Structure 1
Amino acid sequence: MSSLLVCEFKKLKRNSILKYTVLAAFLFPIPLSLLALHANMSFDKLKMFVFVFGFYLLMPIFLGLILATLVFEERDNNTLKNILTIPISKRSLLLAKIIATLIIGVIFAVVSLILPIILGVVRGNIDLGQFFTTLGIGLIIGVMVTVADLPLLIVVLKMKKNYLMSFVVSLSYTILSFVTSLQYNRFPLPLSVVFKWSLPHISSGTMSASITRLFFSTPSCIGILCIVGFLSYYVAVKLFESEEE
């Protein structure tokens, strides 16, 4: 599996999508940090803005592009036949792509939080406990958002090399999920579920009972994500195995 993961990251390196993803993760907090400095915003508010706009808008879109790149690279270069001459199942190959995307989701999460944490330390708004808590929550949400994005893998496998449509679907899914997250409902879109689970963990303010009743508990969130992850992987494997090599 480790060799498969190395191959997946080499594909991303050739395509430059990984560099753009990490760069976007680092750059998008800059205007928010400048706004925080100008408005004398607390670290907690800055952190919440980074989580909401970075983790629930930017990250799902880029992860969708990562999934598309990992799948389409083999189709574009017609290398799948060569890979399968080695005794590797398509199931293992697909799992390697998912694990690679999970790793990138974690990298995105960490990089996104670097600047806000540095700013918080410089301004004296963050202590050691907050540092580890913020980083820990970021890592957890990074993994959860990646799993919530896995239904896009099914779409990617059905697109047949169509990068544009994959991007459109990824963008539409992200926007729909984000809008749903801001509504007073408990509609179980995977990304919306993660958002409504994470809100009490990324917000420091008090919330009314009408809002807190919309939150998902940890067992509910994990349960939904497990179902989403399993079904996405199962359907994706069936689609992948049914393709002509």
Structure 2
Amino acid sequence: MGNIISTELLKIKRYSVVKAGLVMMSLSVLMSCFYSTASTNKVWDFQDFIQQVIISNCTLFFPIIITLVAVYIISRETTDDTLKSILTVPISYKKLLIAKFWLLLFLTIVFSIFNALLSICFNAFLGFSGMDIHMMLMSAAQIIVSDILVYISVLPIIIVCAFAEGKSLLGVAVAFIYGYFATMEGSMLNWFPIKAAMILVDPKCGSEYGMSYKIPPAAMSIIGVLVVSILLFQMLNRTKKNVYMKSKRKVKVKQTRRKGW
């Protein structure tokens, strides 16, 4: 598995979608910048700015970014016609996908670090108070953890896209709607995975709307999504394997030579 992951890491430099992901992460910071400067009724500080960056990441940008990157990376094996060569090594499709999921986790951390550094630079430009070494490290950790939790939240969508050929763009659209629902407020949203990601990293989540969310339901929601993702992956992989074995038997039957003349 380690060799497969290393190989996937080496492929990153060929993926233009990674650069697109970095650009989209910068758009999240820009949007937060415009939002903070447009608000005249509130005195912003560094913590408020980072909170807005996390909201933009979780609800509007990162669900789309990580799903789009996942769809691209997984579909490249089919579009580049390299899957049949990889499977003869032999490497099972299951192991290949697991390696790609680890790669996506690595990219999530890379995107998050880039996003955090850009947020710090923009805050220095805007001049919001309260930025010191401790707050910078805490904010970077919040951004990284929130994006990892969002990645876990959209993992079922990514898994379905990995096994449903030709429906990748539909998965990106679903991820956008999925993330947009987290912009709403309500007690039931305490169990909504992407909202849960925001609740777990931001204790003030929803306070400006008079909401008080609880951490235990949010944590249970994320754990539940992770368990569902594992079960869904096992089920779809077993189904794909059975379909492949049936098609292989049919090919063998057709290739069997008839006796006699």
Same fold, TM-score > 0.5, yes or no: yes
- Per-residue deviation, 1:206: 7.8
Instruction: Report SS of the residue matched to 1:165.
Output: helix
53-62 or 228-237, which moves further after superposition? 228-237
190-199 or 115-124, which moves further after superposition? 115-124
Unaligned 5+ segments in structure 2 are 249-261
- Per-residue deviation, 1:15: 4.0
Number of paired residues?
239
Q: 1:157 touches 1:236 (CA, 8 Å); kept in 2?
A: no
Q: Which has the higher contact order (CA 8 A, sep 6+)?
A: 1
Q: Which residue of structure 1 aligns with residue 214 of structure 2?
A: 215
Q: Which residue of structure 1 aligns with residue 177 of structure 2?
A: 172
Q: 1:67 touches 1:101 (CA, 8 Å); kept in 2?
A: yes
Deviations 1:180-207 (A, max 9, x none): x52331463322322333331678x688
- Closer/same/farther in 2, CA of residues 226 and 162 from structure 1, 3 Å limit: closer
Amino acid at match of 1:162: K
Q: 2:49 touches 2:123 (CA, 8 Å); kept in 1?
A: no
- Per-residue deviation, 1:171: 2.2
Q: Which residue of structure 2 aligns with residue 127 of structure 1?
A: 132
The percentage of counterpart residues that share the same residue type is 19
Q: Which residue of structure 2 aligns with residue 157 of structure 1?
A: 162
Q: 1:148 touches 1:190 (CA, 8 Å); kept in 2?
A: yes
The CA distance in 2 between the partners of 1:186 and 1:31, in whole Å, is 24
43-52 or 151-160, which moves further after superposition? 151-160
Q: Which residue of structure 1 aligns with residue 46 of structure 2?
A: 43
Instruction: Report SS of the residue matched to 1:149.
Output: helix
Q: CA RMSD in A?
A: 2.9
- Closer/same/farther in 2, CA of residues 107 and 49 from structure 1, 3 Å limit: same
The CA distance in 2 between the partners of 1:129 and 1:150, in whole Å, is 32
TM-score normalised by structure 1 residue count: 0.81
Deviations 1:8-65 (A, max 9, x none): 3455543411110012112331243255456563212211111001233200111111
Pairing 1:200–2:199 present: no
- Closer/same/farther in 2, CA of residues 228 and 197 from structure 1, 3 Å limit: farther
The CA distance in 1 between the partners of 2:204 and 2:94, in whole Å, is 35
- Closer/same/farther in 2, CA of residues 139 and 72 from structure 1, 3 Å limit: same
Pairing 1:235–2:235 present: yes
215-224 or 132-141, which moves further after superposition? 215-224
Q: 2:152 touches 2:222 (CA, 8 Å); kept in 1?
A: no
- Larger radius of gyration, structure 1 or 2? 2
Q: 2:67 touches 2:175 (CA, 8 Å); kept in 1?
A: yes
TM-score normalised by structure 2 residue count: 0.77
Unaligned 5+ segments in structure 1 are none
